[in-house]
């Protein structure tokens, strides 16, 4: 591919994290920065949170910049990768965290809600993955975000789970399309995780029921998911074309 870049220099790897101002996204940015990655924190609607996170990472001895981009807009995404290259010299790791979850039974779902989730969860993941496939350097990693809800299959999650099932298909095929490039492509599929996105609209009884599903008898926390991403972004060079379920044993 014409846009393919050379392997990363010895000075360290560079990670682009979409949705980096969110709960799981922030934990991933902090973890990758702690592991020595320069981090490009992508955000769409929370500039203050993204800026605070970048400041905290830089003050802690890491390297980070915050960059606004709509993941569903190909021009924004191209500019995001250009910003990463301008700031740090290239891109080695892309973590496709950006996503939304809107719940309703199939019979009651407003199609505008379906279209909104499609634009961010499916189109957004595809646009970012396409740019990553063109730009990530040899030895790099592309990490998409699926969901354990694809298999748990709880009522009201159909539209959301369907959008994440599309991410699974994209991940497995892209891994094969990048044959010979020394780039891994995987997806992380979190289970119930205590983030504002997941907890919004749920009463305590519902939260307790979801927490009890796992044999570990708790919800996940963002740091649990960041651990899996750090594994895929660094040492996991023989894990490729997989969906990793990080859910405490729910499935």
Which residue in the list 43, 157, 160, 245 is annotated as catalytic? 160
Active site residue 160: yes
* Residues in Cβ contact with 124 at an 8 Å cutoff, skipping those fewer than 6 apart: 18, 70, 71, 72, 96, 98, 99
Rounded to an integer, what distance in angstroms lies between the CA atom of residue 186 and that of residue 193? 20
* Residue 205: other Cβ atoms inside 10 A: 8
Residue-level length of the chain:
251
Question: Buried b vs exposed e over 33-66: b needs ≥16 C-beta within 10 Å?
Answer: bebebbbbbbbbebeebbeebbeebeeeebbbbb
Catalytic residues: 160
């Amino acid at each position: 591919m014409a846009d393919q870049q050379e392997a990363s220099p010895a000075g360290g790897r560079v990670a682009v994290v979409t949705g980096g101002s969110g709960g799981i996204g922030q934990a991933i940015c902090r973890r990758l920065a702690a592991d020595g990655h320069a981090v490009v924190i992508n955000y769409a609607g929370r500039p203050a949170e993204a800026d605070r996170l970048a400041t905290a990472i830089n003050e802690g001895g890491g390297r980070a910049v915050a960059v606004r981009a709509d993941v569903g807009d190909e021009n924004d995404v191209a500019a995001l990768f250009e910003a990463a290259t301008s700031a740090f010299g290239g891109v080695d790791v892309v973590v496709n965290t950006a996503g939304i979850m809107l719940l309703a039974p199939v019979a009651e779902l407003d199609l505008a809600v379906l279209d909104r989730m499609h634009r961010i969860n499916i189109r957004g993941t595809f646009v970012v993955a396409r740019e990553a496939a063109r730009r990530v350097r040899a030895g790099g990693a592309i990490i998409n975000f699926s969901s354990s809800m694809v298999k748990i299959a709880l009522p009201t999650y159909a539209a959301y789970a369907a959008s994440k099932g599309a991410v699974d298909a994209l991940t497995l095929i892209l891994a094969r399309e990048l044959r010979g490039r020394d780039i891994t492509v995987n997806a992380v599929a979190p289970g119930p995780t205590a983030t504002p996105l997941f907890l919004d609209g749920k009463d305590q009884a519902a939260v307790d029921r979801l927490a009890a599903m796992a044999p570990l008898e708790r919800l996940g926390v963002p740091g649990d998911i960041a651990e899996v991403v750090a594994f895929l972004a660094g040492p996991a060079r023989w894990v490729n074309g997989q969906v990793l379920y990080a859910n405490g044993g729910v499935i």
